[in-house]
Structure formats: structure tokens, C-alpha cells
Amino acid sequence: MGRYLEPIRAGGAVLWRERGGNREVVLIRRPRHGDWTLPKGKLKNGEHPIIGAVREVEEETGMTPLLGRRLPCGNYLKDGWPKQVEWWVATPERPGAEVDHPSDDEVDLVEWVPIERARERLTYRHDVRVLDDFGSGPARTFPIVLLRHTSAGDKRSWQGSDLLRPLDEAGRADALALSPVLGAYGRLRVISSAAARCMESLLAYSVEYDVPMRTERAFTVGSEGEGYEVEKAKEVFAGLIREGRPTVVCTHGELVPDLMTEALARLGAPLTQQCGLRKGAFWVLHVSDDGEPAGVERHGPRG
């Protein structure tokens, strides 16, 4: 008889660096299990998988990871119960960081290991598959984040210019929640629609990570959906991708499907039938240094 068991959710990363012409990854040894594995761990209840992955890697290695492209989920049985691990490629926040993790009951050794040796040392086949997924695509990528602003309430009850309509209480809470999630990708260039609700959606991130925000008229939708040009917005968005800089763009729901369709088409990636976003959600396009699509993922502010 078929049955469904809610999987244990976990998050982790393949933390890598170049050293002496070789590519190395971080492995950890867990004395309780007597194994060598990749840094990962269970998500807390209600925890965003991005936040959980960063937290677990930091706790187990002593290094803060900056997330790159997403890897396929790992699925396997843990004591007869299904476990699902969300994986990312990552680099240390501080380039050249060495291991500085005290031995404890959870992890007693953290080592940078050349990839081929790492494949041999890993205890579990499912970890080797993750390492193979890492090796099958570009290691170095940059993110382009496309965010739909968080909740600003019903515009029919707002008196005044729609461009000045602020976030409501839920929207402000989601904007605060977004800040550490976006921070997992490092210090992104911040570009926003000139509408107050879009700028406020990125204000916490801009302040916390000390990144200036600039507005872009092409991404701004006026009152009643007027005053914007889709083709101009697509042209500007494509230009940002060509510049090759990690960037977050906050705009309106009206423009998100057009911008995503344009980006995927220009990158030669397959098109999805669901390009739209709910308020506060975002797409991440991972692009390789040579302009090739390396991954696409979608998240909400709280997972």
C-alpha cells in the first residue's frame, strides 16, 4: 500500500575554493557517527531553507557561506524516514579563510580537501552525488534577484499618489524577513522601482548590508498600472544581466512575468509557464561568468 511520510527537511552547501590550481571542498567529520560528510543539518520549524543552510554550514565549519547556484535536492532514508536536503554551491564570505572550528561533540574535524580525494573520503553515496552535481556545472556564478514588492494593502483605501503608498504591517514584517535571506547571496547591487512600496521592501537589506539603493524609472508602475513601458523595462533588465554584477531588482507584479520571460529567453534557458510572483517572493537567476544560465530558483520571504 502506498503511503506518504513528511520528509525531514535539511539544508547544506558545497563550500569550495581554488588553491594552488586545484579546487577544494570542505568536509566535516562527525565523531558520533564516525563519518565524513558535507556540511548540512536539519532546518528549524518554520525556518527558511536559505537561512537554515547558511546557519548549518556556519555552525559546522566556522565559515559564513555566500550562496551560489542551487543544486538538486538530496533525497534518502534516515532510519527509515525520508530526508530531503536543499543544497547550494557556496564560497566563504572571507576569501582565503582557513578552518577555525573548535572540535566538539558534533564535529571534530573540518578540512579543505581536493575534490577527487573528497569523493573517496565521503562516507555516503548520496554525498558523492551532490559533489558530482557540483562538478557538472559552473562553480563560479553571479545572482540576479527579481523581487516583487511586499504587501502594501488595498490601494483603493489609499488617499494620494499610488507611488507614495507605503507597505502595510505584513509588508514591513516580510521586508525585515527578506533582509537576511537576500544577505545569503552577499552584498547585491540594489535597484528598485521608484514607488515607495518597492523601495521600502529593500530598505532593511540596503541598510543592514550597507549597500546604496538607486531607483529605475523603467521598473516603476504608476497609478492604475499606467506610465510604464514593458519593452524599456525588458531592455534595462537585460542590460543589468549583461553587466555581470550580483544585483537585486524590486518591481511590481505587472512587470515580473515580462522581465523573467525576457531574461530566460536571452540566456537561452527554457521558459516556465509560471513566471509570476506573489508579493514578497523572488526569483534568483544564477548566471555563469560566460553568460550561460546556471540555475533558476524561486523563494518567498519566509520559505
CATH code assigned at 46: 3.90.79.10
| Domain C-terminal end among 135, 150, 180 | 135
Q: At what angle do helices 169-183 and 196-208 cross, to 10 degrees?
A: 40
- Strand segments, DSSP code E, in 95-149 are 109-114, 141-148
Q: What does the pLDDT average to over 49-68?
A: 97
Give me the percent of the chain exceeding a pLDDT of 90.
82
- The residue segments making up the domain with residue 72 are 8-135
Range list of H helices, 157-255: 169-183, 196-208, 230-243
User: For residue 102, what pLDDT band results from cuts at 50, 70 and 90?
Assistant: confident
**Could you tell me if 127 and 179 lie in one domain?**
no
pLDDT at 153 > cutoff 90: no
The answer to whether the Cα torsion of 271, 274, 275, 280 is positive or negative is negative
**Could you tell me if 228 and 291 lie in one domain?**
yes
In terms of Cβ atoms closer than 10 Å to its own Cβ (0-12, 13-18, 19+), residue 90 is buried
Query: In angstroms, rounded to a whole number, what is the distance separating the alpha carbons of residues 139 and 97?
Result: 18
**Could you tell me if 150 and 117 lie in one domain?**
no
Task: For residue 1, tell me if it sits in a domain.
Answer: no
Mean per-residue pLDDT of the chain: 94
Specify the pLDDT at position 154.
83
pTM of the model: 0.94
Q: What does the pLDDT average to over 110-118?
A: 96
Specify the pLDDT at position 1.
52
Specify the pLDDT at position 51.
98
User: For residue 198, what pLDDT band results from cuts at 50, 70 and 90?
Assistant: very high
- 216-234, pLDDT tens digit by residue? 999 999 755 566 899 999 9
| Domain C-terminal end among 86, 120, 135 | 135
Q: Residues 74, 77, 81, CA angle at the centre, nearest 5°?
A: 120
Task: Rounding to the nearest 10 degrees, give the CA dihedral for residues 64, 26, 67, 291.
Answer: 140
Hey, which residues does 13 pair with through a beta bridge? 88
**Could you tell me if 159 and 272 lie in one domain?**
yes
Residues 221/254, Cβ–Cβ less than 8 Å = yes
Task: For residue 244, tell me if it sits in a domain.
Answer: yes
**Could you tell me if 165 and 290 lie in one domain?**
yes
Task: For residue 173, tell me if it sits in a domain.
Answer: yes
Specify the pLDDT at position 226.
61
Residues 49/43, Cβ–Cβ less than 8 Å = yes
Task: For residue 176, tell me if it sits in a domain.
Answer: yes
Query: In angstroms, rounded to a whole number, what is the distance separating the alpha carbons of residues 284 and 182?
Result: 10
Q: Which run of H or E residues covers position 128?
A: helix 125-135
pLDDT at 67 > cutoff 60: yes
Total of domains in the chain: 2
Residues 30/24, Cβ–Cβ less than 8 Å = no
Residues 188/213, Cβ–Cβ less than 8 Å = no
| Domain C-terminal end among 74, 102, 135 | 135
**Could you tell me if 103 and 64 lie in one domain?**
yes
- 240-285, pLDDT tens digit by residue? 999 999 999 999 999 999 999 999 998 888 888 789 999 999 999 9
pLDDT at 170 > cutoff 60: yes
Task: For residue 3, tell me if it sits in a domain.
Answer: no
Q: How far is CA 303 from the centre of its chain?
A: 11
Q: CATH number of the domain that 219 lies in?
A: 3.40.50.1240
The order of strands in the sheet holding 213-215 is 213-215, 189-192, 247-251, 141-148, 282-288, 293-299
Q: What does the pLDDT average to over 276-300?
A: 96
Specify the pLDDT at position 3.
83
